[in-house]
């Protein structure tokens, strides 16, 4: 855990120094919640959509390391991630190395909807067939698509965790595309009989969705 916390400090500092978007990080409380969720639910195959500088990715991967006892990925134990922006890959890479989990993780650079759609069309782009847990934290406008594309990849009894589901209270009026995306996503999950879900009041709201 000490290694992870020190890596998180480093990632946070790098993010503040090298980007103008440090507010995008899930932060310590939610990051450790994600790690703990992975450990408690014994998740060993994890996908993250939207990695930025790798803060939540390091937390998820450390959870998989703790649940599996492994530091190298294999066909049953792995963390995949999708991120559209390649420019910050050096922070992701060094952060994961500092946390001691770089060999568990593979980052796919590209648009999440495209990569996930290719997967469903049968192209082998490396994204796995089945996950214990998917963490959604990319483009808020695309949450409904991420949900539809990833639910079939989640095993029965597995989880999708979706970040920012209150979107700082802006989902009520749906005035912009991001608020509209989150509002549609929330409504979609609520009326979906394939899943059960509950809201976790952490940071900007986390929705825990369990595939039945
Ligand atoms: C809120 S940040 C992720 C923060 C990260 N989960 C963390 O807490 O450390 C959202 C990320 O999603 C990425 N993103 C936005 N649109 C995307 C898309 N269409 N496909 C893949 N990634 C995307 C952005 O580049 C950004 O890095």
> What pLDDT, in 10s, does the model give residues 100-127?
999 999 999 999 999 999 887 777 788 8
Containing 8, the helix (H) or strand (E) segment is helix 2-18
Contacts of 172 (CB under 8 A, 6+ apart): none
- For residues 81 and 51, the answer to whether their CB atoms sit within 8 Å is yes
Nearest one of 30, 33, 35, 48 to 131, comparing CA atoms? 48
pLDDT tens per residue, range 25-84: 999 999 999 999 999 999 999 999 999 999 999 999 999 999 999 999 999 999 999 999
Q: What is the mean pLDDT of the chain?
A: 95
First-to-last CA distance in the chain? 32
pLDDT, average across residues 174-200: 93
User: Which pLDDT belongs to residue 170?
Assistant: 75
Of residues 173 and 117, which shows the higher confidence score?
Answer: 117
Q: What percent of the chain has pLDDT over 90?
A: 87
Q: How far is the CA of 105 from the centre of ligand 1 (A)?
A: 16
- Nearest protein Cα to ligand 1, atom 10: 138
Third-level CATH fold of 2-211:
Rossmann fold (3.40.50)
User: Which pLDDT belongs to residue 173?
Assistant: 67
Neighbours of 170 (CB within 10 A): 16
Q: How do the domains of the chain map onto residue ranges? A: 2-211
Residue 25 CB–ligand 1 contact under 6 Å: yes
């Amino acid at each position: 855990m000490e290694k992870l916390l020190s890596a998180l400090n480093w990632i946070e500092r790098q993010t503040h120094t090298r980007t103008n978007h440090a507010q995008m990080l899930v932060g310590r409380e939610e990051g450790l919640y994600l790690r703990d969720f992975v450990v408690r639910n014994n998740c060993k195959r994890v996908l993250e959509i939207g990695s930025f500088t790798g803060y939540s990715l390091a937390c998820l991967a450390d959870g998989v390391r703790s649940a599996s006892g492994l530091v190298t990925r294999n066909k049953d134990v792995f963390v995949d991630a999708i991120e559209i922006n390649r420019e910050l890959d050096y922070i992701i890479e060094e952060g994961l190395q500092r946390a001691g989990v770089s060999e568990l993780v593979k980052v796919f650079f590209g648009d999440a909807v495209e990569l996930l759609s290719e997967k469903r069309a049968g192209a082998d782009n490396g994204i796995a067939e089945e996950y214990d847990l998917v963490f959604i934290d990319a483009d808020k406008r695309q949450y409904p698509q991420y949900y539809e594309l990833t639910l079939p990849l989640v095993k029965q009894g597995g989880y999708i965790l979706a970040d920012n589901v209150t979107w700082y209270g802006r989902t009520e009026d749906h005035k912009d595309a991001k608020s509209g995306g989150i509002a549609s996503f929330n409504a979609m999950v609520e009326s979906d009989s394939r899943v059960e879900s509950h809201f976790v009041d952490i940071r900007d709201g986390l929705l825990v969705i369990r595939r039945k």
